[in-house]
Structure 1
Amino acid sequence: MTKTKPAAGTLDDSQLEDLRRRNLGRLLDEVHVGFDRLALSYLREEGFPDITSAAEHVLRTMRTEGATLTSMAEQAGISKQAMSKLVAVFEKGGYVEWRSVEGGNTRLVHATQSGRDLLETGLRAVKRAEEVYFAALTSEEQETLRELLLRAAVSHEGSPERDSIWRRRRA
């Protein structure tokens, strides 16, 4: 397949601006950033003012029954070192604690009671943010949007069998 170059001078500034405004990556980024900020503001309203946007990586990967630092970092798409720093902040805040796995050298990050409260409040904050973002859509449109985004996420990686559709890969 040969690529054809557009004829010189066929693209004007208004077309370029329209392409930028409607670019899928930009639209997804604007929704993602806006959604996260809104959910974070709700979380802070509910009594968690110490939670930052960077800490969302821990919130998205915390498990009530524990998780390894490696699995949390992989799922968040960040380095183990970065996740370690974030977990240390959560540990200092009393939201997580380290527990050794019986019979081995493995340690897991477990949510404390305060951490479980944070997770529950975080889920409510996400649901509130979804209500705001979905206010202009019917229930059917909401479900269609979820399904289409899920399908796009799976197809982007090329295989539905991959480990996790939630894992980000940074190049």
Structure 2
Amino acid sequence: MPDESVAERLHRLGIVLPEASNPVANYANFVEMNGFLFVSGKGPSGNPRGKLGKEFTTEQGYRFARMAGIEVLAVVQSALGTLDKVKRVVKVQGFVNADPNYGEHHIVMNGFSDLMGEVFGEKGVHARSICGAVTLRDNLPLVVDTIFAVEE
């Protein structure tokens, strides 16, 4: 459906965006500059606590990454007024709080990447890097930060 707005696509997918969460420390939720929107790291809603490969399975991690994506989309919508101003998801960096022997970080982060593809189509295909983390703030299972190309 090429003429479908992002809001219509979200509705069709059954996704309701929450209010954008506020930063938990002294930083901005986002910075817009020179046609790019930089979104600060977001974790999954509900604040689950624990490590992948220990307290959580890969399947749960996939859902957490998708939830973090919804949190990111809420920030983008609050920043731009509409997700239709997104030209492209450019870069995603995922930090996965994982047991040292865990090796499925890439599958976990597919939850975020798959969501971006569902919401933005080809504009949702992005560059991505993933780091396994010994710990993350508040013992979140993952945090994702994102760069979008946006209409100026």
TM-score over 0.5 for the pair: no
Q: Which has the higher contact order (CA 8 A, sep 6+)?
A: 2
Tell me which structure has the larger Cα radius of gyration: 1
TM-score (norm 1): 0.24
Higher strand share: 2
Structure 1 or 2: more helix by fraction: 1
> Which TM-score applies when normalising by structure 2?
0.26
